[in-house]
Structure 1
Amino acid sequence: TRELARLEAEAAKQRSAAAASAEALRAKEVEHGVLREEYETVCKEVDDAQEAADKASQQYELAASQLRVREQELAGLRKQHGEESGRASRLSMSVKNRDAQIEVLRQEMEVHRQGKEQADRLCEEKERFVQTLTSSMESLKKTMNDLGEHSRDDMMSLQNRVALAEARAAEEANAAKDGTRARFAFGAAVEAECKDTLGTLAGENGNGGSRSASVSPHSGSRT
């Protein structure tokens, strides 16, 4: 009986120890389950972090590639900007040269315009001088016609002088186109020639009687 009681006591102790062990095992299992969940959570977080890192690495590579492309585009734009700047500088210089050429042409046009105006004035004055000369020549011819008592040689001499005066006046009139100095020289030459011719005619007209008297014997003997 005592042995049975002792065995039962030991069995109770063993059951109690087994229950405690089972309880400890259940606690360990619970703790293990919690640790497993935490482990799985950590693993999942690690996987997520790795995936995020991979995505970040891919994005980094993509960004680096885009950056290289942008750098190449920027280098191309800088080169294009340099070329356009050089082209703009050359165009600006060309525009300045064109402006200078236009200014020179404008000045030349102004000089030509002034020359044309001066030539027009000279032509007008030439016409007036020609009219004056024509009037003077007509007056000389009339005077020559009125001097019928002159000899044939004197008449030819007067006609030669008139022709010489007309030729010289025509030359001076053509030379008058070259400038104001030639114009005044033309007028002075015409005036001097007219005065000389008129003076000669006046002198010969005053001496006409004596000449006719000296020539009449010869003319009579000739007839």
Structure 2
Amino acid sequence: AAIATCLSDVEQHRSSQCAARIPEAGALLDLLEKCPERQQKGGFPVVVFEGLDATGKTTVTQSVKDTLNGILLRSPPDCISQWRTVFDDEPESIKRAFYAAGNYILASEIAKASTQAPVIIDRYWHSTAAYTIATEITGEVQGLPPAHDEVYQWPEDLLKPDLVLLLTVDPEERVRRLQRRGLKKTKEEAELETNSLFRQRVEESYRRMVNPACQEVDASASKEEVLKTVLQLISKHCAL
């Protein structure tokens, strides 16, 4: 199971000299071990928003949360997000283990929140998978695993959302938005900007995800138009 892989990767870096070097790994494992193996979703819908940075996820998720009187969650969850910079500087396998483990910790929060109100999520498992695949594979999009490969399948032991919406914008517009924000770029964001092949691999990986698949939303329009489109999709696919 995917969660077993997360546990083993983090556990390796909790032991011996690594415990002193990355004490956060031990704390992460403690949180992960407290999560039930299988989470049950409550009666309210769970909607995930995916997409590259500057595609409008923050704005849209907040607007949808307000409109539906929902609960907004993010990946990695707040309880471990302060460790993100620590793990981002670690080798790729450890970095990905952190994000994968974060999904299972987030699932516990989703299970509880979805008994109370609609749940809106800013990134979840699809992000972890898409960036992992795009990093491990080099070169053209044609080098990605074939469309029906198991790497695009949702993990059987992870709480599944009702709907996943992939926000997309024109590459040039996305760069303009990033520049207007003036925020410090992550390593991955810098690579997305300079390495068009990497960006293409990430986007194509998103599109190949199944069970559930991502439904694309053109986020280049006005905030009002994007919100209208998103709410229509939620109304169509989720019982509110």
**What is the TM-score normalised by the length of structure 1?**
0.25
Higher helix share: 1
Instruction: Say which structure is richer in strand.
Output: 2
Q: TM-score, normalised by structure 2?
A: 0.23
